[in-house]
A and B are shown apart, each in its own frame.
Chain A
């Protein structure tokens, strides 16, 4: 093994696929940022690209790029750990590769159509071929079906590999969670005239993804990540994972009701949704305690400092963005005024960033270390300023945007919703208040700052470990006894 050079050839099959997924994910991340900047600029200069790339197109690309790259990041993470966790090579490498290419070509076509066709006549053809016009899951129906087929191929590989090898607590939770995650997507794949019915099922996809199945998925990744970067004990990590699943599903499934306050659904959702969603921060606190406890117990002696830093950022970001920012507006008495304002946007940004961007980036750092031949990535690594600045700038940018949006949202809730009664005129009264206008400028400024952070991050991901001669630090040793069957599988031994 040569240190610091690309070691792609020696990776396992699943890991090679993971690198592909991660690469596409990062390209789409950058695209997401750029379209976010375009949309944000249109708040300040509405004539900008008017009639060419309208706000709705930029926003659609912005949020769709996000959903897709996060799915890529998750799939990559799962492929990265599946052979390690199962102890055997991937069962269907050909199908897995085909699924990657089909998925990627489909995404490319969808984006090209979004940008150059944009919209179509008001009939079912448009929904099949151009876009479905439903936030986050705008992808046309043909692409939905393609995505489902690719997911089946991926699921076959993941579940099949565990079946062929060994199961663990982590893999058990992971596989069941994937079934739920993929199944939920089906709830978003139909058309109905009835808007309340439409939004009822639409939230099954959006909410039950981000506040239930995605949370559990990242819980699995986190569990595996703590074992790998810190050498944390498997038994403790697994027990925590079960506790988190119980708390997350226990609160998040019925927490769905916080989206059923005002869409025509019955009044009992005010109580059900308010109560259970108010409990949702609890599992997020549990996750922070878990991560910090493990890191502290191992005295932060990690073999991969950037990955550990992003894992800790995940724990706190998840708690703050989802737990605190979500809680702020989750009681119906408050949500009546904050519903559908920049307040939601503030929460949406910090939650997606804190909960999901962070952990995917952590996994990519884990992958990059292996890709460079398991080099040293602990204290004093060469060019270490890059990852630290990337971490700092992205977080500063995101926090700045979040706070700006929160101020804008507060003002909007007050002027438009509470006083103005949400009319056309009240809307614009809210949009023209100095606080709102200034907040939009600050959002833009911090967005640019964050974009620098993302560019630096991408640069670091391709450069980190280059020229590094020291081998990876050995971790664990406190009390890390492998408890599953055949014991640790040496990295790379199962390469096909």
Chain B
């Protein structure tokens, strides 16, 4: 047994406590710095309505939204089409923001994310809602708003469940909450998610060109 202390034999650098302490501090500091820098950049990119165009302005709910394959990026991306106002009302950016905000608050307050996933995050008891606005289950463009409103207003009476019996409980939404939730889902479907979900085909809609932005 070697007594440790002053007369201790010198250790190789790679076995020395001091070397690894410095290494830990340096690596942590460096990685944290890189993360902070990337964060600054990412935050400007994901600002709603920023120039990068990844996260749309809230007024995107005034438009038809598509999801089409992009040759260059090699996956599907949202396409913002001509005006197609939600519930027939053109909204200003601020009005649209308030509506979407009410929807987001409602989705949090009713805890939808402990059954559903949004952008793939959440729970796995019910379908992903990233593209719920575009889901072929709503039939076609003209039926969508009515069916969606009806479903969210009373998901028990309008249950589909595909033979599973797994129904959505009634979230008891007020009229305003319901509109907000649908606006929120519409806005969400226009977020550029690098091609997730893969292979998703939206319900039939009118043309996406002409009058777009």
A positions within 8 Å CB-CB of B: 39, 42-43, 46-47, 50-51, 54-57, 59-60, 118-124, 126-127, 130-135, 138, 169, 173, 191, 193-197, 199-200, 202, 235, 238-239, 242-243, 245-246, 249-250, 253-254, 256, 259-270, 272, 336-337, 339-342, 344-345, 412, 417-425, 427-429, 431-432, 479, 481, 483
Contact = CB atoms under 8 A, between A and B. Distances in A.
A135 B43 contact: no
A419 B199 CA distance: 7
A264 B193 contact: yes
Contacts of A47: 165
Interface residues of B, number: 92
Nearest to A235: B17
B150 interface: no
Given A196-B46, A253-B28, A424 B137 contact: yes
12 contacts: A54-B169, A131-B108, A193-B97, A194-B55, A196-B119, A235-B4, A242-B21, A264-B54, A264-B55, A425-B136, A428-B127, A431-B166
A268 B194 CA distance: 11
A60 B31 contact: no
Given A193-B48, A195-B188, A199-B121, A417 B127 contact: no
Given A122-B109, A266-B41, A336 B28 contact: no
Given A46-B165, A339-B120, A250 B114 contact: no
Given A121-B177, A135-B123, A337-B198, A263 B31 contact: no
A438 B51 CA distance: 48
Given A47-B165, A239-B17, A432-B162, A56 B31 contact: no
Interface in B39-88: 39, 41-43, 45-48, 52, 54-55, 58
Given A118-B111, A267-B194, A246 B24 contact: yes
Where chain A touches its partner, the secondary structure class is helix
Contacts of B4: 235, 481, 483
A116 to B, nearest CB: 14
Nearest to A130: B109
A135 B122 contact: yes
A483 B8 CA distance: 12
Nearest to A253: B31
A43 B3 CA distance: 62
Q: Which of B38, B132, B160, B165: most chain A CB closer than 10 A?
A: B38
Contact of A123 (B100, B105, B194): B105
B163 A432 contact: yes
A419 B200 CA distance: 9
Contact of A133 (B45, B55, B113): B113
Given A195-B119, A266-B45, A246 B114 contact: no
B34 interface: yes
A340 B117 contact: yes
Contact of A199 (B54, B119, B125, B195): B119
10 tightest Cβ-Cβ pairs between the two chains A and B: A122-B106, A133-B108, A422-B197, A56-B114, A428-B162, A340-B120, A262-B196, A242-B20, A421-B199, A126-B109
Nearest to B3: A481
Contacts of B2: 479
Contacts of A264: 46, 54-55, 119, 191-193
Contacts of A57: 111, 114
Contact of B109 (A50, A123, A235): A123
A124 B105 contact: yes
B68 to A, nearest CB: 13
B144 interface: no
B111 A133 contact: yes
Contacts of B157: none
Contacts of A42: 125
Interface string B162-178: 11111101110110010
Contacts of B170: 51
Nearest to A133: B108
Contacts of A196: 46, 54-55, 119, 191
Contacts of B195: 262, 336
Given A43-B125, A340-B122, A423-B135, A266 B111 contact: no
Nearest to A46: B166
A127 B55 contact: no
Contacts of A344: 124
Contact of A263 (B121, B132, B174): B121
A341 B124 contact: yes
A249 B27 contact: yes
B76 to A, nearest CB: 10
Contacts of A424: 127, 132, 135-137, 160
Contacts of A197: 43, 46-47, 55
Q: Which of B102, B118, B127, B131 has the most CB of A within 10 A?
A: B127
